[in-house]
Amino acid sequence: MSADPLISVRSLSKHFRTFERREGIVGGLINLFHREYRIVKAVDNITFSIGRGDMVGYIGPNGAGKSTTIKMLTGILVPTSGEILSNGFVPWRQRAAYVKTIGVVFGQRTQLWWDIAVIESFKLLRRIYDVSQRDFDERMELFDQVLGLRAFLHTPVRKLSLGQRMRCDLAAALLHNPPILFLDEPTIGLDVVAKDHIRQFLRAINERYKTTVLLTTHDLDDIEQLCRRIMIIDRGALLYDGPLAGLKERLLRTKQIKFILRDGEQAPRLAAFEHSLSASAQNGLLHLERLDEMTCRLRFDRSSVSTSDLIRRILAAVEVRDFVIEDEPIEEIVKRIYSGEVFAAPPGPQP
């Protein structure tokens, strides 16, 4: 973090008023006449700052307040209380001028026109953002080199694959070369190759233009490959804000292998395998669960066992039709943070 932050957020809160729905038909009828409202603290008193050129990961379970924060940072929502100063602007007050200095990508939604060739959207965005023709051509050249856009520039957006569309959306968000880029789940739903493409591109623009990036994600690989710093939010409050390095071992400790048995005959062999596992688990975690008749999940501590070793052992013990290796879901990590497993002391936002 540099001494002079590009984005500074102080005591930021956003509360929504929602009404409690009663259940059933009678409840539905009562709802029509009498509503009980409840205040939901989507973001509750968070403070952080981000320096120029930083790439920060913003993670948390669903409904934790990530998107609400991004919407306030991009000037779409007005905070209930607190302050934001981003690139010298107060987002919601000087929105039109401010958004010309930021780029925003919302993972599952596109800002490109659905039925029209990609290039037409780019041309319109060029005019909306007042980008000169020379700059436009130059950037399109660069985007093409890194993202390989040329092949589908004249295809309507609805015909693009999700990965192609995401590449186009990223290019669209960066057309005016903003110093700040907000990404809301940029890799959601993408395959491994497409994810890699996006990550490479983000690294490239961060190095070349010193673009400051704040990205929310569910994918811990995004964080590992892109960010040196992470912020964890849950139920509107910041649980952790600091370097990834120290936390990585503690946070990303558990992995899981899900495997599907070839047939019902494997049951006795699986039981024997389970027995051998419990014998070999010394101090680390090594836990096998049956998810259903054919599917099993093996959770393990990756600091004590290597993934390849385990796979070899599984394949030797039972006949397997298919398997996947996954990180522990973020919800589980947050649960562990709460239970005090990750931090010795109760968690709190760190400067």
Give the residues lining the site for other proteins (CB under 8 A).
16-18, 71, 74-78, 95-97, 99-100, 104, 106, 108-111, 113-116, 120, 124-125, 127-129
Among the listed residues 62, 100, 86, the one whose alpha carbon sits nearest the alpha carbon of residue 12? 86
Between 176 and 199, name the residue whose CB sits nearer to other proteins.
176
User: At closest approach, how far in Å is the CB of 31 from other proteins?
Assistant: 15
Between 95 and 313, name the residue whose CB sits nearer to other proteins.
95
Residue type, 34: H
Q: How many CA atoms lie within 13 A of 210 on its CB side?
A: 6
User: At closest approach, how far in Å is the CB of 332 from other proteins?
Assistant: 27
Which residues, at least 6 apart from 278, have a Cβ–Cβ distance to it below 8 Å? Answer: 286
Between 116 and 281, name the residue whose CB sits nearer to other proteins.
116
What are the E-state strand segments in 277-348?
286-290, 295-301, 320-327
DSSP class of residue 51 equals -
In DSSP terms, 230 is beta-bridged to 57, 242
Between 162 and 286, name the residue whose CB sits nearer to other proteins.
162
User: At closest approach, how far in Å is the CB of 93 from other proteins?
Assistant: 13
Between 68 and 256, name the residue whose CB sits nearer to other proteins.
68
DSSP class of residue 23 equals P
* Integer Cα distance of 215 and 220 in angstroms: 12
* Integer Cα distance of 120 and 126 in angstroms: 10
User: At closest approach, how far in Å is the CB of 76 from other proteins?
Assistant: 5
Report residue 208 as tokens.
Answer: 């070349």
Between 127 and 134, name the residue whose CB sits nearer to other proteins.
127
Q: What is the largest CA-CA distance in the chain?
A: 70
User: At closest approach, how far in Å is the CB of 334 from other proteins?
Assistant: 23
User: At closest approach, how far in Å is the CB of 19 from other proteins?
Assistant: 10
